[in-house]
Amino acid sequence: MITANHKIPGLVIKDHEFQVPLDHEKPEQRQISVFAREVAALEYAEKQMPWMLFLNGGPGFACSRPESRSGWLARALQEYRVLLLDQRGTGLSTPVTHQTLSALKDAQAQAEYLSHFRADNIVRDAEFIRKELVGEKWTVLGQSFGGFCILTYLSFAPEGLQAALITGGIPPIGQKVDDVYRATYKRVLEQNRLYFERYPGDAEKLKRIYEYVETNNVCTPAGERLSVRRLQQLGIHLGFTGGFERLHYLIESAFVSTGSGTDISYIFTKSADAMLEFNTNPIYVLLHEAIYCEGQASDWSAERVRSEFPQFNPETNSPPLFTGEMVYPWMLDEYSCLAKIKDAAQIVAKHRDWPRLYNLEQLQQNEVPTAAAVYLDDMYVEWDYSQQLARQIPKLRLWATNEYMHSGLRDDGERIIDRLLAMVNGAI
């Protein structure tokens, strides 16, 4: 169903809403809404064009909202009509928040509901939409977690795909969840080393900040405690272009002189809080570890594995290093919105019966032309695991580069998409 259409300079946009089963195995039961935004170049708006589906990173974040004809989208629109999908539970797709989950009767019901929001059902939604809206094969583009979803797509519904493009998102299929986090922690250590090499004075500044928040009741504007371990999570930005600078400029604004002395700056606390989006995007916390699980429980893997890396421990390292994208059980106490769904999160972390997200046998027989940009210095997706899997998949061509960080698609999307399209088309 088209719910709205409008134009912005150079683009024609149509908003779509689809009713899909919560559980595709039980289509007669509960339905949820999935939102998608169709984007066409103004000059091709009335022309029949092949389709490209975009699956963004996450999990648990809404798809980007087009503001201009630029970046990767500008290049894609030269050849495709693009569909920007709000993956189930995000954006305008029956969102998962502490408010919406409160409508379910108890924590067990919430956990069962959440079990339907992984890549397998995102792909089922995509196939539902493709059949209803497009009626022919389409090309898919996946960034980060979106790339993980594409490997699920190639595993279980390759008949729907004309080609596949992946940026920073080849999953560690066959790896244990603990090993994934061991590899990721090592990457985070390296990014910390590079950060403090660039800004050596920030170590002493961070130590001062940590000492202040430990001895004073420092809160965010929303009234949540701004703890040392919460501030360490700002390291999630170290894997993106400009992330070093964003952190450095935040740290230099930490203190302000007042009539009674020196205090932590309101600008600092507000900015730090805005850089950590866990309250507004709970799927990221609830299912982040589950994206690596097939027939195993995550059981708060990042928290358990962290003990092997004392550099992140405030009691053994001063100042403790920044952490990365990992999620931890203590977050369910310190983030007020997550605290409201704490019991459900604990059930999800202990859940063992996760179904398969990938079919390696099918992937080893892949016939869909696929091209992937893999970033050698990616802090979030381990290069070694990516190449191990890629070697097993026919018609998957790798572009391995250290030119970009994980945010390559955002930073230089036009060039990256142009190259990936040339790879799947045989021009490179």
Distance of alpha carbon 380 from alpha carbon 375, whole angstroms: 10
DSSP characters for 111-145?
HHHHTT-SHHHHHHHHHHHIIIII-S-EEEEEETH
Cβ atoms of 372 and 170 within 8 Å: the answer is: yes
Q: Tokens 């039980």 appear where? A: 26
* Helical segments of 132-265, H only: 145-156, 177-198, 202-215, 228-232, 243-251
Q: E strands within 219-316?
A: 255-258, 261-264
Residue 320 tokens read as 């403790």
CB atoms near residue 331 (< 10 Å): 21
Residue 136 tokens read as 């022919």
**Residue type for 260, please?**
S
Residues annotated as part of the active site? 144, 353, 406
Using CA atoms, how far residue 195 sits from 120, 219, 260, 285, 404, in Å, is 37, 26, 33, 25, 16
Residue 233 tokens read as 């999570």
Q: Indicate the DSSP class of residue 354.
A: P
